[in-house]
Structure 1
Amino acid sequence: MDHSLQSCFQLVGWSLRPSLTSGFGIQAILQSKIRMVKYFCNSTDISSTWDQVFSAFWQRYPNPYSNHVLTEDVVYREVTADQQLLSRRLLTKTNRLPRWAERFFPSGMSRCVYIIEDSIVDPVNRSLTIYTWNLNHTTLMSVEERCIFRDSAEQPSTTLLKREAWISSGIYGFSRPIQEFGLARFKSNQVKAMKGLEYALSNLQGEAHPRLLRDTMKDASGKAKEAAKNLASAAAATPQKPQQFI
């Protein structure tokens, strides 16, 4: 672990080895300072079994939709007496800031965000619960997320996903626009996260990923149209020599 990350953990008082009675999952999130927050919630049906989703969750990085995820490391893992699997992972992510937000970042401050991801696998009740939150840049913006994957009792071969997020900012006078930006960015990233999970599922099932194929074709089509437009513009701007007839 690099020195800057060690300093970050010391500053916020986090340990890589959490206590099972405190400092793990939602209990850790609730330790954060209460602020006015933006709240997000949605539910999704995934057309795969819980076992497949559980396996894909651990294999979703890297994928074509996760370029903003730089690193991932498992820093703690334990099986409890009731056979639940507790894991803590550390992820490093980067997200480009809008120009107006640059003023809140001192020059030289890292643009990388350290993310803690706590997960609880309950094989008896067939659920996977994930809590994530950022360790640094919390004054600018704090994003706390909870995802619950459950086996569907009514729909065979279907997994139910409920995703919640709480977005807050401690920048006086600018917290509202920062929260609005954070909410919009979160919505965009959760779409990418679902695409990445679908990509991992298709790899596990040995299938070509249809969404990736569609996205690739759409991107290629867009580039071709843009190239044709540029050629047409260049041709129109180039003065034509008068034709001579013999």
Structure 2
Amino acid sequence: MVKYFLGMNILKNSWDQVSAAFWQRYPNHYSKHVLTEDILYREVTPDHKLLTRRLLTKTNRLPRWAERFFPANVTHAVYIVEDSIIDPLSRTMTTYTWNINHASIMAVEERCVYCENSENRNWTEIKREAWVSSKVFGFTRAIQEFGLARFRSNVTKTMKGFEFILGKMHGDVHHRTLVETAKEAREKAKETALAAKEKAKDLASKAATSKKQQYV
């Protein structure tokens, strides 16, 4: 038996914003379990789709009851492969992830589809599916239940992290706009002061010339 998860989430941000934030998710306060991320492959297809494969390293702490059944030298890190397909024409982003180590103990496969929300095109809808399986005889069900519970917990962290990054991106844009506006105001003030100074010089020169002519 395989444990199946199906979930729907909404981000109150446009698809463009979400697809841009996707590449900036790590690090954030809610993703301390994500240790590293590396791009292994990237390609733009003739039909303008962006294909990317990344390797993520995440912590993989075993439940307390399982620690006594597995060797102490079992690594506490899990390597995740993430394939993504971004289609700007249909405005969809599809991701597939799966772990490449410890798969015999517990394998987790996930598929996510990001698209515009049908009721509000300024929002992004995420359909998430996951399959949790185990090949450990005698512990299959317990490991699958644990894996499913941890997956649900990680989804909550993922969404909070996404919202944090999106908020930060909006804050940076707002801050950048304010900085640029202030800079432009300073430059304009300098130009105005310089123009006023030149005009004052010109008026003073004309006044001096006029006064000299009066004495001639």
**Would you call these one fold, judging by a TM-score over 0.5?**
yes
Identity in percent: 61
TM superposition shift of 1:101:
1.2
Whole-Å separation in 1 of the counterparts to 2:39 and 2:128: 22
Aligned to 1:224: none
Which of residues 179, 188, 201 is equivalent to 2:153? 188
User: Is 1:161 equivalent to 2:126 in the alignment?
Assistant: yes
Please show how residues 1-246 of structure 1 align to structure 2 within 5 Å: 36-206=1-171
TM superposition shift of 1:104:
4.0
Q: Quick one: which amino acid aligns to residue 26 of structure 2?
A: Y
TM superposition shift of 1:130:
0.6
Aligned to 1:4: none
Aligned to 1:220: none
Aligned to 1:24: none
Whole-Å separation in 1 of the counterparts to 2:17 and 2:139: 43
TM superposition shift of 1:105:
2.7
TM superposition shift of 1:45:
1.7
Deviations 1:79-99 (A, max 9, x none): 111110000000000032212
Q: Residue 78 of structure 2 aligns to a residue in which SS?
A: strand
CA RMSD of aligned residues (A): 1.1
Q: Quick one: which amino acid aligns to residue 108 of structure 2?
A: V
Q: 5+ unaligned residues in a row in structure 1: which ranges?
A: 1-35, 208-246
Compare the two structures and name the one with the higher helix fraction. Answer: 2
Q: Residue 68 of structure 2 aligns to a residue in which SS?
A: helix
Whole-Å separation in 2 of the counterparts to 1:153 and 1:180: 33
Q: Residue 52 of structure 2 aligns to a residue in which SS?
A: strand
Q: Residue 205 of structure 1 aligns to a residue in which SS?
A: helix
Whole-Å separation in 2 of the counterparts to 1:105 and 1:112: 15
TM superposition shift of 1:127:
0.3
TM superposition shift of 1:55:
0.6
Q: Residue 156 of structure 1 aligns to a residue in which SS?
A: coil
TM-score (norm 2): 0.77
Deviates more, 1:133-142 or 1:100-109: 100-109
Confirm or deny: 8 A CA contact 1:63 1:199 kept in the other structure. Answer: yes
TM superposition shift of 1:167:
0.2
The number of aligned residues is 172
Whole-Å separation in 1 of the counterparts to 2:88 and 2:99: 28
Deviations 1:196-217 (A, max 9, x none): 100110011117xxxxxxxxxx
Confirm or deny: 8 A CA contact 1:43 1:160 kept in the other structure. Answer: yes
Whole-Å separation in 2 of the counterparts to 1:89 and 1:105: 29
Q: Quick one: which amino acid aligns to residue 200 of structure 1?
A: I
Confirm or deny: 8 A CA contact 1:56 1:200 kept in the other structure. Answer: yes
Aligned to 2:176: none
Deviations 1:100-144 (A, max 9, x none): 111343232211100000000000000010110000001110000
Q: 5+ unaligned residues in a row in structure 2: which ranges?
A: 173-216
Whole-Å separation in 2 of the counterparts to 1:52 and 1:184: 29
Bigger Rg, which one = 2
Deviations 1:46-87 (A, max 9, x none): 110000000111001000001110000011000111110000
